[in-house]
Amino acid sequence: MVPSAVLDACVLCLGSYLRSVVDPATVSRTVASIDDEGLVERSRQGEFLDVDRPGLLRRWAQDYRVFSRGRSVALDVPRPATAIHRLVREADTSATFTTSVALRAWLPEDILRITELSQVVVYTAEVETIDHALRARPVSLARASLLLVTDAPAPRVAHDDPSWRPIVSVARAIVDLMSSRGRGAEEAEQLLTVLAERDPRWR
Q: Give the DSSP letter string of 47-90.
A: -EEEE-HHHHHHHHHHT---SSBTTEEEEE-SS-HHHHHHHHHH
CB 154 within 8 A of CB 66: no
Percent of the chain predicted with pLDDT > 70: 81
Question: Over the stretch 28-40, which tens digit does the pLDDT of each residue have?
Answer: 777 788 888 888 8
Q: What is the pLDDT of residues 7-27, one digit of tens each?
A: 554 555 344 334 444 666 776
CA-wise closest residue to 133 among 163, 166, 93, 191: 93
Contact status, residue 91 vs residue 126, Cβ threshold 8 Å: yes
Greater model confidence, 162 or 191: 191
Instruction: Please name the amino acid found at residue 160.
Output: D
pLDDT for position 3: 52
The reported pTM is: 0.83
Which residues are bridge partners to 76 per DSSP? 137
Measured between alpha carbons, how far is 47 from 93 in angstroms, rounded to an integer? 38
CA-wise closest residue to 52 among 38, 62, 64, 65 = 38
Q: Residue 47 CB: number of other CB atoms within 10 A?
A: 11
